[in-house]
Structure 1
Amino acid sequence: MRATTKTLQQSSTDTTTNNELNRRQFFWQLGMTAGAGLLATQSLAQSLSVATRDQKSATSLTKDELPLSELPTSAVEDNQLIGSTSKCIIPTIETRLFASSNVGGSNERNQLALERLACAGFEVHNPAITKRQYLRFAGTDAQRASDLQNIATGAIKAPKLLLGVRGGYGAIRLLPLIDWPTLGRVMHERGTILAGFSDVTAIQCALLAQGKMSSLAAPMLYSEFGKTTPDEVSCRQFVAALTNPNLRIDIQSAALTSAQLPTILATDDSQTLTGTIWGGNLSVVSALAGSKYLPNIDGGIVFLEDVGEQAYRIERMLYDLYLAGVFQRQQAIVFGSLSGTGEDSYDKRYDVAMVIRQLHKLTGLPIYSGMSFGHISKKHSFPLGARCEISPNALGGYGMSFTDYPVIDNKNMISVEGLWQV
């Protein structure tokens, strides 16, 4: 397969400019190679049509799917996007998937996402794992753990990118089955980037706690790239985090956490803090409290987000962490989106803002709100387990600057538009 891919790359260079192909040329040429198993026999337009029907017929959604970014029905029916063309590049970034949690609900949606990744330049080596299923999970515990354990043992070469398929539930069951210290060492030597969020937080926390390796809080295969209309901002920010070794994100509003909060809740809102940022989905982080899989970092910065949890449940999970001593040696807490919280049926005044103010009173830590990440559109991907500097900015909010994490050195290896092309 490797020789075939190189031949195809050389041929493409001779006949195109800047290694770019239009969509039809790209999939025709790639489909002629023996290694084209990652692409479906259906066209992108056919997959889009099926994925649209699948979304309309869905009766329930898991956390990693909220919110869905969909086209108006009329736009799809009028073929306003199906007739568009895209610029694809030959996939050269070694990529493997890991499916640690829920099974994907739609093969067509997975296939559409795989085609988009290929178009954008990611060479997925194990697309078949998207078809695994055991009960509600994307395979048995052993199968799902093997996606990562085989890299630790050397049975499979560590890729440049390890991309999560989706979240939901199930990753916590895998934690005792993986040699995290060895996996972290292998990934560090290769400069591997593990990307995901939601339930994948369990994997990311264990990797940092036991393997001393960073990861990327980022959208996933099924959850984002398989949507009828992937969010363009999330796609662009995903690529920015993959390729920029000095990523910076500025936050001007606390609204994603609570409109009733200031962006910085602190006795001194002019200070600059530097430490290792860690965390992820609050439900998962709190479930790891007291275990060896929760990072134990001095002077850290805790990041937390969640969706569909009422204010009292958010407070209960924060108290889990507080009573377990998790906040004692931390410098600050950063909240991303706390979406879909609803109202308290006993007293509407008891809301997320009150919960976070109570946390500030308990811990005495500065709390930064409104970070643009979570179960939302327009996500800003960022590294976990990396060095983070937080400081107030001139816009009345704060900025977060990240260093010391692996990246893809050549951003020209990625055609970001491919991630949302139809």
Structure 2
Amino acid sequence: MLSRRNLVAAMGALMTLPGVEPASAGTPPSKGKAPRLRPGDVVGLVAPAMFSDGGEELAAIEANIAALGLVPKIGPHVTARYGYLAGSDRNRADDLNRMYADPAVRAVFAVHGGWGSARILPFLDWKTIAANPKLLIGFSDITALHLAFAAKAGFATIHGPNAGNSWQPISAGSFTSLAFAGEMPLLRNPAPLILPAPLPAGADPGANAPGTPFGAAPAPATSETPVAAQVDPRWRTTAIRPGRAQGRLIGGNLAVLAALVGSSWMPDFTGAILVLEETGEAEYRIDRMLTQLSYAGILGKVAGIVFGQCTRCVGGAAGYSGFTVPQLLFHHFAPLGVPAFYGANIGHVANQLCIPFGVRADIDAAAGTIQILEPAVS
């Protein structure tokens, strides 16, 4: 898996966006939750896996954080080089330990994914981390940290863009809702695109347009009158098994999660809502990893499943073609008898939704929605 470095001009945090519907933030704070963020808070930047190139790239990363209204504090080894890693395993772990021990730091962002986060788990100071709840933000290889934090620390983390990724409006808006406002939003893909279409030749401009309720007064028709709502294929969700389920959100990148099966860094998945995404894996590898989760008993424990995007997961070695990713998801998830859907805008995509791991949510597989049921912060 490669690190995604699609750096764009930083975008401000937006509160009301397609895909993020605010809900009440009135639930009393819970002990052990990370504090909510406020504009001007200092946040740590660490590199648990791949290094930053420094220079213009690091400046763009700092700009991303500043655009969210936060002040970046860069870990000592973010630009260090040890092969493809940002310093030795102990160096990278020390950066994370320092951020959680520093009372001035209010949250911690991973700079990049790549590979290497799992290697630092034995060197993390879990006692200090658990005693100082702070949001951890990142995705892809950072899945190893999300899982270990769920198992060892017990407070919520946010699966969302790394600091070095693109923070577009829906990503920034869902993050702001969760981390700053302490809201419990309804998370869903962007709304259907409503595309204008010209009137057919000879059409009555006073006739009801398709979709107009019978008996309703027709709107004045013009060549710009919308006649249909068309969903961008990237934003379409599909129910594998319709229904609703509640549980604690946990998961992340499929390959990273599968690689930790059988280790002490895995949390308990009993009654959880399993959230998965993947990138750059051939179909037969997706099949193999899901089979591993099944044999490990993980799939049989969960209350529901949300599979996000499988970016560039097409084409395998000769002789291993023949199944599509959706076919494999139906094969592995449908027999479980729990609500499941795929296509959520989660993973290696622009405008990915930020998902709070470790908090309870209600999923509606038919609607393709995730209703957060408790704040991720205090």
Q: Distance in 2 between matches of 1:220 and 1:362?
A: 34
On the 8 A contact 1:387/1:403 being kept in 2, the answer is: yes
TM-superposed CA distance for 1:69, in Å, is: 6.8
Distance 1:292 1:377, change over 3 A: same
On the 8 A contact 2:260/2:266 being kept in 1, the answer is: yes
TM-superposed CA distance for 1:165, in Å, is: 0.7
Give percent identity, aligned residues only: 26
On the 8 A contact 1:299/1:330 being kept in 2, the answer is: yes
Task: Please say if 1:243 is aligned against 2:216.
Answer: no
RMSD: 2.7
1:139 corresponds to which of 87, 103, 108:
87
TM-superposed CA distance for 1:63, in Å, is: 3.2
| Residues 13-72 of structure 1: CA deviation (Å, up to 9, x unaligned) | xxxxxxxxxxxxxxxxxxxxxxxxxxxxxxxxxxxxxxxxxxxxxxxxx63317x3779x
Alignment map for 1:6-155 (pairs within 5 Å): 63-65=2-4, 68=6, 92-126=40-74, 128-151=76-99, 154=101
Show the counterpart of 1:205. 147
Q: Distance in 1 between matches of 2:110 and 2:297?
A: 30
TM-superposed CA distance for 1:339, in Å, is: 0.9
Q: Which amino acid in 2 is paired with 1:374?
A: G
Task: Please say if 1:286 is aligned against 2:258.
Answer: yes
1:403 corresponds to which of 370, 373, 378:
373
State the secondary structure of the residue aligned to 2:58. helix
Show the counterpart of 1:50. none
Q: Distance in 2 between matches of 1:105 and 1:140?
A: 16
1:217 corresponds to which of 159, 162, 165:
159
Runs of 4+ more than 4 Å apart: 251-257
2:269 corresponds to which of 297, 301, 306:
297
Distance 1:321 1:176, change over 3 A: same
Q: Distance in 2 between matches of 1:406 and 1:375?
A: 23
State the secondary structure of the residue aligned to 2:121. helix
State the secondary structure of the residue aligned to 1:130. coil
TM-superposed CA distance for 1:348, in Å, is: 5.0
Show the counterpart of 1:336. 308
Q: Distance in 2 between matches of 1:134 and 1:100?
A: 12
State the secondary structure of the residue aligned to 1:274. strand
Q: Which amino acid in 2 is paired with 1:263?
A: T
Show the counterpart of 2:330. 357
Show the counterpart of 1:391. 364
State the secondary structure of the residue aligned to 1:355. helix
On the 8 A contact 1:107/1:130 being kept in 2, the answer is: no
Structure 2: tracts of 5 or more residues without a match: 11-37, 192-230
TM-superposed CA distance for 1:183, in Å, is: 1.1
Q: Which amino acid in 2 is paired with 1:131?
A: T
Q: Which amino acid in 1 is paired with 2:308?
A: G
Q: Distance in 2 between matches of 1:141 and 1:289?
A: 21
Distance 1:111 1:65, change over 3 A: same
TM-superposed CA distance for 1:352, in Å, is: 0.4
Q: Which amino acid in 2 is paired with 1:221?
A: A
Q: Distance in 2 between matches of 1:212 and 1:120?
A: 26
| Residues 316-365 of structure 1: CA deviation (Å, up to 9, x unaligned) | 11111111111222111110000101134436541101211110245333
TM-superposed CA distance for 1:298, in Å, is: 2.0
| Residues 152-180 of structure 1: CA deviation (Å, up to 9, x unaligned) | 5x4x2262211111100000101111133
**Number of residue pairs the alignment of both structures matches:** 309
Point out the structure with the larger helix share: 1
Task: Please say if 1:322 is aligned against 2:268.
Answer: no
Task: Please say if 1:183 is aligned against 2:129.
Answer: yes
State the secondary structure of the residue aligned to 1:131. coil
Q: Distance in 1 between matches of 2:107 and 2:42?
A: 6
1:160 corresponds to which of 73, 91, 106:
106
Q: Which amino acid in 2 is paired with 1:365?
A: V
Q: Distance in 2 between matches of 1:318 and 1:209?
A: 21
Distance 1:255 1:158, change over 3 A: farther
TM-superposed CA distance for 1:96, in Å, is: 0.9
1:373 corresponds to which of 346, 359, 377:
346
Q: Distance in 2 between matches of 1:118 and 1:162?
A: 14
TM-score, normalised by the number of residues in structure 2: 0.74
Q: Distance in 2 between matches of 1:146 and 1:122?
A: 22
